Structure 1
Amino acid sequence: MSKKSRAWIPVWAIIIASVFIAFEYGKVPPAAPNMMEVLGISYTTQGLMMTMFSIAAVVMALFGGALMDRFGARKVVSIALIVSIVGNIAGLFWTSDVGILVTRALEGCGYGAAMTAGPGIIAMWYEPKKRGLANGVWGANVGFAMMIVTLSATPIMENGNWTGMWVFGLVGAVLAFLLVIVCVKAPAESERKDLEESAGGKEDSEKHGVLWGYLAPLSLLSAVMFFLVGGSTDAFNAFTIPFLNVENGWSEGAANLCATIAAAGMLVGGTAMGLVLARTKDKGMLLFVDMLVCAIGLFLWFNLDIGVVGTYVVAFVLGCFLGAAPTVFFAMAPEVARSPKTVGAATAVVVLGQNGGTLAVPAIVGMILDSAGYGAAAIAIGALSLAACAICLFAFRRIYNKSNRSTLE
């Protein structure tokens, strides 16, 4: 098998593995009502189940990035996935509140490691012009996983209880582990496609401390932007159904369909952005325009009153732009690293921004909703996205373009 033809195996293995391990993230909402009935968990515990998972993913991303730079992605991700599998199995039996939260933290380890490894593996095997489809699908991986979980949850819950979703997540984790251990590997040093593109060029990372890779300016700026616009997207996802169902009086089915249409838009936008990004020179401007459209859409979303069909159309279009932003952040992570040997650390910082936004922004928006309503919430998430636009235009784009010029020289 030629070098060119075998490159797709590790790349698509980590992409598919990331979809499988994301089942662990998405299994809780469908199972939660039954868990409340059978196990007696509270709403607080239900929320903490997602929080513990995300915290573990953040911690794993931070430490895992440096470990991957040193020991390789396959070893680190495989071990983290084993931890997730153990946590999942334990969660089927350790059903006290403490047990549920501890096992959810264990499950988050594999998710955090896989999400950190993907962009670096894609960059190692594909040169920038050939990463479009892979980066696009990677940016939409969690959304794709959520759709699979949602579609699978109905028959599972109709014919069983919450343990069915845990078994579903376990199957996903095992499949992810098998894909990683069998198929994921790095190319030989002489065959790597990412050695000349990082912002730091050929600078030797070994003479610097561990934090050097984490403190790359462009990585930090990417993380802040991802925190702002990604967190706003999570708030959009979290409160769209209540807004339509409770605030606007839509039926539950119509509100759920609107959320599904928005999710479909995110998948389309994420995949399309990967193809566009690979052919765009001024990537900073592309990111700015995308986030500006997101900001405008978010300012308007919780104030819409244009009928069902019109709302569906807006939901799909806005979903396309919201789904495109993560593709850019993940695709550019290897490029904004200080050196090829710190790609894992740079990606970890970006993942930290993503998960930080998931943890913080929906909670803040929820408090705004309780005190001031949806109009104020729309202003909040729109303003956060505008702040990301300002960072992109006045800081990130300038530094990124300057780094590219110096690398070419």
Structure 2
Amino acid sequence: MQIETKEPVLSTAPKKNWRWTVVIWLIIGGFINYLDRANLSIAAPQMMKDLHLTKTDIGLLGTVFSWSYALMQLPAGWLIDRFGTKKIYSIAVLWWSGATFMMGLFNKLPSFIIVRLLLGAGEAPCWPTGAKITSYWFPKKERGFATGLWDSSSKWGPAIAPPLLVAIMLAFGWRSLFYITGIAGVLFSIAFWIFYKNPEHSRKLSKEEFEYIQSEGAGFEENLVNSKIKWRSLFKYKTVWGMILGFFCTIWIWNIFLVFLPLYLVEVHGVTLQELGVYASIPWVGGIFGAIFGGYLTKKLVDKGITSPVKAKRALISICAILAAIVVIFVPFVDSLAMKITLFTLALCFISAITGSAWALAGDIAPPSMVASVGAIQNFGGYFGGALSPFIAGLIVDKTGSYSLAFISGGIIAGCAALCYWFLVKNPIQERVE
């Protein structure tokens, strides 16, 4: 049943800010989500030694995850918009946590491939859920900043993972990484199911704050039953294809960093396992800053009346894509470890500003009932294309003995995101005559 609501126009934010506590749920979930991805990159050196795996094998596991993750975006977005964020998200966290735990049980590559397929399928609803929850908990002018905060969890995970997971691995072995992170996800899923409430059911929201949330059409979770646009028709919009192609370019280089950064530091610069915990985490601190500051910057541009929410995000994405391309291409041309860490940090700062704004853009572009679907379709494009990058990077390194070509080509592809978001992503999705 659709609830008819008035949309009061409030010029200032209320004194109470309970809505921002919702971001904490999304940060914790995203942090666990990325721990479950980063544990493979940390465990890779020991897995290769113990189980006689190659870099191509490790790259293949990254690719298998990304393909599964990408393909499951399409049903995940539809399921979230159809059956609600709380139900689908709780099931998804249980699913991916179980898959994470199982990674520690096996010894053969075929078994790891199956488990990584399951992990990708289970993790698919995580970010579309965040986009959907943000769309009905925050007015449009705050969604960029809110999204930047919870999207930073995808950088907190890899930033904290190296020192945390390396310490666990040195004490208990590489299998313990998968056991511990799997159990953490199960506990979070139970807590989310028990305690999370939508705005209309929250007893913590004041009347003033609820009216402020409603001021730009938020406040209630809408589903596909209320939509006048058919789900399949989303692929007819140029804006949607711009988001798909732009995220393809962004996630290509993102996946190379996620899968190979620790291994690169160990092999090229002789970083020890004890040192890896520090060196591999530093670049992701730049990612945290980029996600949060990028969202804050778009909020300020809108608050000051300089531009609209959509234009602010498009401009930020385009500028950061160009800067990311320049920085990544320079990586092979510097020799010192300190300089390369600096370039990696800057690159992840710019890339993270792109991903945060891209997820917030889904809430501005899509109808309220289809935010998860549009966000998931964008993510589908990113990870379907990005799925190729770890495998291709692994092949390049195995064949050439160098990471240079992987970084140069990755930087060029990242820069193409600017063309996609600036020239194709312009207009919100509106109903078409079928």
TM-score by length of 2: 0.78
Structure 1 partner of 2:352: 323
What pairs with 1:156-195 in structure 2 (closer than 5 Å)?
156-188=168-200, 193=214
Q: State whether residues 299 and 382 of structure 1, in contact with CA within 8 Å, keep that contact through their aligned partners in structure 2.
A: yes
Of 400, 403, 413, the match for 1:384: 413
SS at match of 2:364: coil
Give, as a single letter, the amino acid of the residue that structure 2 aligns with 1:331.
A
Q: Deviations over 1:57-87 (max 9, x none)?
A: 2233210101111110111111222222333
What's the offset of the Cα at 1:342? 0.8
Whether 1:340 aligns to 2:352 is no
Query: Would the alpha carbon gap of residues 124 and 365 (structure 1) be closer, same or farther in structure 2, given more than 3 Å must change?
Result: same
Structure 2 partner of 1:119: 131
Give, as a single letter, the amino acid of the residue that structure 1 aligns with 2:414.
S
What's the offset of the Cα at 1:395? 2.5
Query: CA separation in 2, counterparts of 1:391 and 1:53?
Result: 25
Structure 2 partner of 1:59: 71
Of 22, 28, 45, the match for 1:10: 22
Whether 1:223 aligns to 2:244 is yes
Q: State whether residues 30 and 151 of structure 2, in contact with CA within 8 Å, keep that contact through their aligned partners in structure 1.
A: no
Query: Would the alpha carbon gap of residues 6 and 330 (structure 1) be closer, same or farther in structure 2, given more than 3 Å must change?
Result: same
- Per mean C-alpha deviation after superposition, the further-off stretch among 171-180 and 346-355 is 171-180
SS at match of 2:73: helix
Query: CA separation in 2, counterparts of 1:38 and 1:242?
Result: 16
Structure 2 partner of 1:270: 291
What's the offset of the Cα at 1:95? 4.7
Structure 2 partner of 1:393: 422
Q: State whether residues 92 and 125 of structure 2, in contact with CA within 8 Å, keep that contact through their aligned partners in structure 1.
A: yes
Give, as a single letter, the amino acid of the residue that structure 1 aligns with 2:255.
D
Q: State whether residues 220 and 349 of structure 1, in contact with CA within 8 Å, keep that contact through their aligned partners in structure 2.
A: no
Of 321, 325, 328, the match for 1:298: 328
Q: Deviations over 1:257-294 (max 9, x none)?
A: 55433221111111111111222323222221111111
What pairs with 1:220-259 in structure 2 (closer than 5 Å)?
220-236=241-257, 250-252=269-271, 259=280
Q: State whether residues 23 and 168 of structure 1, in contact with CA within 8 Å, keep that contact through their aligned partners in structure 2.
A: no
Query: CA separation in 2, counterparts of 1:29 and 1:152?
Result: 13
Query: CA separation in 1, counterparts of 2:234 and 2:430?
Result: 21
Q: State whether residues 245 and 381 of structure 2, in contact with CA within 8 Å, keep that contact through their aligned partners in structure 1.
A: yes
Query: CA separation in 2, counterparts of 1:116 and 1:261?
Result: 27
Give, as a single letter, the amino acid of the residue that structure 1 aligns with 2:35.
F
- Per mean C-alpha deviation after superposition, the further-off stretch among 157-166 and 339-348 is 157-166
Q: Deviations over 1:215-272 (max 9, x none)?
A: 543233122111112312333555666767766xx44258885543322111111111
What's the offset of the Cα at 1:379? 4.0
Structure 1 partner of 2:31: 19
Query: Would the alpha carbon gap of residues 193 and 41 (structure 1) be closer, same or farther in structure 2, given more than 3 Å must change?
Result: farther
Give, as a single letter, the amino acid of the residue that structure 2 aligns with 1:276.
L
- Per mean C-alpha deviation after superposition, the further-off stretch among 139-148 and 118-127 is 139-148
What's the offset of the Cα at 1:121? 0.6
What's the offset of the Cα at 1:45? 4.6
Q: Deviations over 1:163-207 (max 9, x none)?
A: 31122221221133124312334333997659759xxxxx99644
Of 139, 142, 156, the match for 2:154: 142
Give aligned pairs, total: 392
Query: CA separation in 2, counterparts of 1:122 and 1:3?
Result: 20
Q: State whether residues 194 and 340 of structure 1, in contact with CA within 8 Å, keep that contact through their aligned partners in structure 2.
A: no
Q: Deviations over 1:73-105 (max 9, x none)?
A: 111111222222333444444554443332332
Give, as a single letter, the amino acid of the residue that structure 1 aligns with 2:320.
D
Query: CA separation in 2, counterparts of 1:101 and 1:373?
Result: 26
Q: State whether residues 11 and 125 of structure 1, in contact with CA within 8 Å, keep that contact through their aligned partners in structure 2.
A: no
Of 319, 326, 331, the match for 1:289: 319
What's the offset of the Cα at 1:357? 3.9
Give the aligned CA root-mean-square deviation in angstroms: 3.5
What pairs with 1:42-121 in structure 2 (closer than 5 Å)?
45-93=57-105, 95-121=107-133
Could you tell me which runs of 5 or more consecutive residues in structure 2 were left unpaired when the two chains were aligned.
1-13, 202-209, 219-223, 302-306
Query: CA separation in 1, counterparts of 2:105 and 2:88?
Result: 27
- Per mean C-alpha deviation after superposition, the further-off stretch among 114-123 and 178-187 is 178-187
SS at match of 1:302: helix
Query: Would the alpha carbon gap of residues 15 and 183 (structure 1) be closer, same or farther in structure 2, given more than 3 Å must change?
Result: farther
Q: State whether residues 321 and 350 of structure 2, in contact with CA within 8 Å, keep that contact through their aligned partners in structure 1.
A: yes
Query: CA separation in 2, counterparts of 1:117 and 1:141?
Result: 14
What's the offset of the Cα at 1:341? 0.8
TM-score by length of 1: 0.82
Q: Deviations over 1:144-173 (max 9, x none)?
A: 112222122222122222331122221221
Whether 1:211 aligns to 2:232 is yes
Query: CA separation in 2, counterparts of 1:36 and 1:312?
Result: 24
- Per mean C-alpha deviation after superposition, the further-off stretch among 274-283 and 257-266 is 257-266
Of 112, 115, 128, the match for 2:140: 128
